[in-house]
Amino acid sequence: MLRRLLFGLIVLIGLAVVALVVFVATFDAARYRDEIDRWAQAHLGRSLSVQGELRLALWPRLALEAQTVSLGNPPGFTSPALAEIDRLALAVDPLALLSRRLEVDALTLEGVRLHLERRPDGRENWRFDFPPAAGEAKSTVTSPSAPEGAPAAALPLALGRVAVREAYVLWYGGGRERPFVLGPLALEAGPMLPEAPVPLRVTLALSERAQASLEGRLEQWRRAPRWVGRLEVPPFDLRAWLEAQSVALDLPSSALRRVRLASDVQADAAALRLDALELTVDEIALQGRLGVDLPGDRLETSLTGTAYDGSLRLDAGLDDLTGSPHWQGEGRFEGVDVARLLTAVYGKSSLTGQGSVDFALRGRGLTAEEALRSAQGTLRAQVRDGAVQGVDVEQLLRDASAVLRGERPAGGGRGSTTFEELSGSGVLAGGVLRNDDLFGRTALFTVEGAGRVDLIHARLDYRLRLRLAATPQVQRDGPLAVLLGLPIPLEVSGPLAAPSYRVVTEELARDFAKEAIRRRLAPQEERQAQEEQPPVVPAVKEIFRGLIGR
């Protein structure tokens, strides 16, 4: 009896194997292409086409391979497909199916192109509007042991290794003529067991030598997915990478040449957090944190670090990331090498020294032009022990003195002017910085004034008043001594890169005449006190006499 049972079992197994072999050998892919597309239309609301070869294999695993697969887009989007896959391979354990378990040993995707787009009306092609029929169909499928009308229990799923190779993400939007391309990307994950964390590693090629990586684990992936891992971006040339994407940068060619990022990462459906963040951009090195509140559509960051031999602190926020972004930030630069900072931003600098800046700003937009035009707030800056390149103020004063004395000015005025302190505060609005309390001090004079800097058109317009210091050196210097006690008007205007400087001699002459008359009409005691002071220069007395005719 036992021998008959064993023989019967062997015959049944043999028949099953033969049936499988016959099924595989006579597998007609054409029959299933339309079925696959109908299933996708019913369950996803999208077309799913297999244009290439569709093959079924029995050994060593039950495997399905499809080539040239595409998942369609809804009407109105730039690309006809949401996803395109050159090759898809799926390997399943057939014995597990007999026990009502779905065990996928390996899922491989090669040559993936994911086309993502957000339209101006807010529609996004990665959001699916599942047809009601799909839900109804699911609810009517029951297992033999389930009560009639009860939803079918899903097969227990065990997914082994998942591999994605040569993947690209293409982003359409922002008025760009061509999509922004991220890739090639690669992904390795698995095994994906129902209650266990899933190891996962994603890499992105940034250049021939630099590859960014995101490595960690995906927890609770079936209920509430949560990612915990580490992000590493080695030093690479971000500028070259952006230029390859046709992104125009209004920055010097030396900017963004060395960028590095490292951070611990935690992410779920509600938030993204970067902790122990380390960011290096050229000569700026920052540490801190960054958090994104996804439901609230808000980003916040707090960073400290070093920049151009000084220190930096920044607290900033960005709201309405997917709509009309608006931002706010406040912080401080301290002890920064001003020339190196300005050269990094503008390509050159006419100012040197050690500077500090406090700022509190807010605005809208993410492009440099949008942010600059909308920015509002206050700034306070101070620079010590520096120089203004392109102007020799002392020579300008000597030329002005020559004009007052009826002599021919030497001309020139180019060179540099060293200073001990230069400070001021301003209000920024509409791309224009207005400053009413400029103050500067040199060994020769002090300066006060007000003006405006048009940051959009890179121009400035200032009206300054200089006063010479009554030092023994100035009192013994004939041309400069003529100007002692007078407010000397100086106009600074023109392009930020090369402004012009002019002493307003006609106004200076009027003030000089008023001072001369005041001295001549002063009481006898005051005139006598002036005579007892150290001699200024004979030329001054001659000017007095010429101005008042005495």
Q: How confident is the model at residue 509 (pLDDT cuts 50, 70, 90)?
A: confident
Structure-model confidence comparison of residues 108 and 222, the more confident one:
108
How far apart CA 7 and CA 394 sit, in angstroms, is: 114
| pLDDT recorded at residue 156 | 53
Q: Which amino acid, 64?
A: L
On the question of pLDDT at 529 being above 70, the answer is no
On the question of pLDDT at 167 being above 50, the answer is yes
Instruction: Report pTM.
Output: 0.76
Based on DSSP, count helices (H) and strands (E) in the chain, helices before strands: 13, 24
On the question of pLDDT at 258 being above 80, the answer is yes
Q: What region, left, alpha or beta, does residue 6 occupy, with left being phi > 0 and alpha being psi -120 to 50 degrees?
A: alpha
Q: Report the first-to-last Cα separation within the chain, whole angstroms.
A: 149
Would you call 463 helix, strand, or coil by DSSP? strand
Report strand pairing: 48-50 vs 54-57: unpaired
On the question of pLDDT at 318 being above 90, the answer is yes
> Which distant-in-sequence residues (6+ apart) come within 8 Å of 183 by Cβ?
166, 167, 168, 169, 204, 205
At 455-487, the pLDDT tens digits run: 988 899 999 999 999 999 899 998 899 898 889
Q: Tokens for 279, please give them.
A: 């960011």
DSSP state of 277: E
On the question of pLDDT at 447 being above 90, the answer is yes
Phi/psi at 482 (nearest 5 deg)? Answer: -60, -30
| pLDDT recorded at residue 152 | 43
How far apart CA 454 and CA 41 sit, in angstroms, is: 57
Q: How confident is the model at residue 95 (pLDDT cuts 50, 70, 90)?
A: low
Q: By the 8 A CB rule, do 501 and 492 touch?
A: yes
Share of residues in the chain with pLDDT > 70 (%): 79
Q: What region, left, alpha or beta, does residue 276 occupy, with left being phi > 0 and alpha being psi -120 to 50 degrees?
A: left
Mean pLDDT to the nearest integer, 358-362 = 97
| pLDDT recorded at residue 158 | 66
On the question of pLDDT at 213 being above 90, the answer is yes
How far, in Å, are 246, 288, 442, 494 from residue 498 at the CA level?
31, 38, 21, 7
On the question of pLDDT at 15 being above 50, the answer is no
On the question of pLDDT at 376 being above 60, the answer is yes
Min mean pLDDT across 212-216, 217-221, 419-423 is at 217-221
At 34-49, the pLDDT tens digits run: 777 887 788 778 888 8
Q: How confident is the model at residue 126 (pLDDT cuts 50, 70, 90)?
A: confident
On the question of pLDDT at 502 being above 60, the answer is yes
Mean pLDDT to the nearest integer, 345-370 = 90
Mean pLDDT to the nearest integer, 295-313 = 93
Min mean pLDDT across 242-251, 259-268, 279-288 is at 242-251
Burial code (b: 16+ CB inside 10 Å, e: under 16) for 75-107 equals: eebebebbbbbbbbbbbbbeebeeeeeebbbbb
How far apart CA 258 and CA 233 sit, in angstroms, is: 11
Q: How confident is the model at residue 155 (pLDDT cuts 50, 70, 90)?
A: very low
On the question of pLDDT at 55 being above 60, the answer is yes
On the question of pLDDT at 7 being above 70, the answer is no
If you average pLDDT over every residue of the chain, what do you get? 82
Q: By the 8 A CB rule, do 155 and 180 touch?
A: no
Mean pLDDT to the nearest integer, 56-62 = 69
| pLDDT recorded at residue 540 | 45
Mean pLDDT to the nearest integer, 512-525 = 65
Q: Is the peptide bond before 184 cis (omega within 30 degrees of 0)?
A: yes
